[in-house]
């Protein structure tokens, strides 16, 4: 799952801390060089050269590894373990105990690096164990002649300093990681919620298409056939059945959603469909701009307009067996501001829009939801005994 660009994550926080630790390692290494050179006067030559060379080489490798983000765990672990062994062998490295008296082992300057490295690449409990062990080891070494032979009080003071610095670094690293984990969890939750919402929307759109398709074709044709009394009505029902079969074969869209549809093409298709429904329906076209609209928009407006006409033919009156004297008209016009309006009007019995049952798919799904899904709007002007007008509007906001 893709992460949001620029977002904080556990991996990015870990990388930042590793590179910061590598940078400070260079500073501490430079600080300890003078002490290592000074202590060489009372150390055995192999210790005076070998131990600093190995530790400084590991520090340089840690810096390189942090820069390329490869092998960091291995090299930081190697440095911590080598440092632990080197500190334990301090009593064996001193050749002149008199010169070492009251001097501080040069490894003192690197003790915090060992703790920081383990805190970064080891589990927290292991890092705490390492910090406690290296602190106790250093306090013991400080009381020995090779470590300076200081009083226990001073050794304990040095040990407390190490322990406090180590505890601070471990808590800081742990706190930053916990915060990053919480951000990761929040991002994952948000991404999952967005994915669920998108899936739900896709399911709802598909459901609306299926509901509208069944309502627009099968149910409409069956109702028209049931109400057909005169030969002309039966002929119209037959044409609707033929049209329904074609619609089902080419479902679920009347226009290609991935292509642009010119207003003229849209007008021609709408006019042909209106004639198929009933030759008595008047179709007027206002001034049309020479431009196009997305195919999915054209399909939504077309289907909504046809469904509004089917609703009028089915529900505007008259009753079964009575002649149909209701005037029906469809108008299409566009404005320079990018607005497209399709108005379906009849002089039938009318209805109260707020009283339409929710289970009536024709108005709720086939018309309103289809148009709103592409950013359009539907308004209804009707009252009992005063006919009805369904106004379908869509605006191209890129042109406004």
123-130: which pairs have CB atoms within 8 A and are 24 or more residues apart? 124/170, 124/174, 127/170, 128/170, 130/80, 130/84
Helix (H, G, I), strand (E, B) or coil at 369: helix
DSSP-derived secondary structure letter, 7? -
d(CA 327, CA 264): 25
pLDDT value for 101:
81
**Per-residue confidence (pLDDT) for residue 194, from 0 to 100:** 72
pLDDT at 252: 45
Predicted confidence at residue 324, as pLDDT, reads 67
What is the C-alpha separation between 46 and 314, in angstroms, rounded? Answer: 103
96 half-sphere exposure, CB direction, 13 A CA radius: 12
- Angle in degrees, 0-180, between the axes of helices 263-277 and 295-315, rounded to the nearest 10: 20
The yes/no answer on whether domain 253-395 falls in CATH 3.90.1150.10 is no
Q: In sequence order, which residues have a C-beta less than 8 Å from that of residue 307 and are 6 or more positions away?
A: 212, 215, 216, 362, 366, 367
3-state helix, strand, coil in the chain (%, to 5): 65, 10, 25
Please write the tens of the pLDDT for every residue from 325-366.
Answer: 889 999 999 887 778 999 999 999 988 887 666 555 456 556
Query: 122 phi and psi, to 5 degrees?
Result: -110, 160
In this structure, the chain runs to a length of 400
Q: Residue 111 and residue 199: Cα distance in Å, rounded? A: 54
Domain ranges of the chain: 10-190, 253-395
Q: Are 328 and 282 in contact (CB under 8 A)?
A: yes
| pLDDT of the residue at 249 | 44
- Cβ neighbour number for residue 220 with a 10 Å cutoff: 26
Low-confidence residues of the chain: pLDDT under 50: 1-6, 248-252, 320, 361
- Burial of residue 139 (CB within 10 Å: 0-12, 13-18, 19+) is buried
Q: Are 130 and 115 in contact (CB under 8 A)?
A: yes
CB 21 within 8 Å of CB 66: yes
- 111-129: buried (b, 16+ CB within 10 Å) or exposed (e) per residue? bbbbbbbbbbbbeeeebbe
Whether the CB-CB separation of 262 and 292 falls below 8 Å is answered with yes
Which pLDDT does position 289 carry in this prediction?
Answer: 78
Q: φ, ψ for residue 380 (rounded to 5)?
A: -125, 130
Q: Which residues, in sequence order, are bridge partners of residue 391?
A: 343, 379
> What pTM value is reported for the model?
0.51
My answer on whether omega of the bond before 318 falls inside 30° of 0, hence cis, is yes
- Separation between Cα atoms, residue 186 and residue 288, nearest integer Å: 50
Residues 350 and 346: their CA atoms lie apart, in Å, by 8
Question: Is the N-terminal amide bond of 163 cis, ω within 30° of 0?
Answer: no
pLDDT of residue 390: 93
Give me Rg for the CA atoms of the chain: 41
Instruction: Tell me phi and psi for residue 330, to 5 degrees.
Output: -130, 130
3-state class (DSSP) for residue 309: helix
Nearest to 38 by CA among 84, 129, 99, 127: 99
């Amino acid at each position: 799952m893709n992460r949001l660009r620029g977002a904080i994550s556990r991996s990015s926080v870990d990388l930042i801390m590793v590179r910061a630790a590598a940078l400070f390692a260079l500073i501490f290494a430079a600080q300890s060089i003078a002490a290592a050179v000074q202590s060489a006067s009372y150390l055995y030559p192999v210790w005076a050269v070998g131990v600093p060379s190995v530790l400084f080489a590991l520090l340089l490798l840690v810096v390189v590894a942090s820069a390329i983000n490869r092998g960091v765990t291995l090299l930081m672990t190697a440095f911590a373990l080598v440092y632990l062994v080197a500190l334990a062998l301090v009593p064996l490295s001193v050749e002149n105990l008199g010169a070492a008296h009251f001097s501080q082992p040069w490894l003192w300057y690197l003790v915090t690096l060992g703790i920081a490295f383990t805190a970064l690449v080891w589990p927290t409990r292991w890092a705490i164990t390492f910090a406690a062990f290296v602190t106790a080891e250093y306090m013991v070494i400080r009381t020995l002649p090779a470590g300076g032979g200081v009083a226990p009080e001073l050794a304990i003071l040095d040990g407390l300093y190490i322990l406090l610095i180590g505890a601070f670094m471990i808590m800081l690293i742990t706190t930053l990681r916990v915060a990053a984990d919480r951000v990761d969890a929040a991002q994952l939750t948000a991404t999952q919620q967005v994915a669920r919402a998108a899936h739900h929307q896709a399911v709802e759109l598909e459901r609306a298409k299926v509901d509208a398709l069944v309502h627009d074709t099968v149910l409409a044709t069956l109702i028209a056939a049931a109400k057909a009394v005169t030969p002309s009505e039966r002929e119209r029902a037959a044409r609707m059945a033929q049209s329904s079969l074609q619609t089902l074969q080419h479902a679920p869209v009347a226009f290609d959603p991935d292509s642009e549809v010119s207003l003229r093409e849209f007008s021609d298709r709408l006019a042909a469909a209106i004639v198929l429904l009933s030759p008595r329906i008047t179709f007027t076209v206002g001034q049309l701009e020479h431009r196009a609209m997305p195919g999915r928009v054209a399909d939504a407006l077309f289907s909504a307009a046809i469904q509004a006409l089917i609703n009028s033919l089915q529900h505007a009156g008259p009753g079964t067996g009575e002649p149909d004297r209701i005037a029906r008209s469809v108008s299409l016009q566009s404005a320079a501001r990018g607005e497209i309006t399709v108005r379906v009007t009849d002089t039938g019995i009318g209805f109260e829009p707020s009283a339409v049952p929710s289970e009536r798919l024709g108005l709720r799904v086939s018309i309103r939801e289809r148009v709103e899904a592409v950013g359009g709007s539907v308004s209804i002007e009707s009252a009992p005994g005063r006919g009805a007008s369904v106004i379908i509007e869509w605006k191209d906001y890129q042109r406004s």
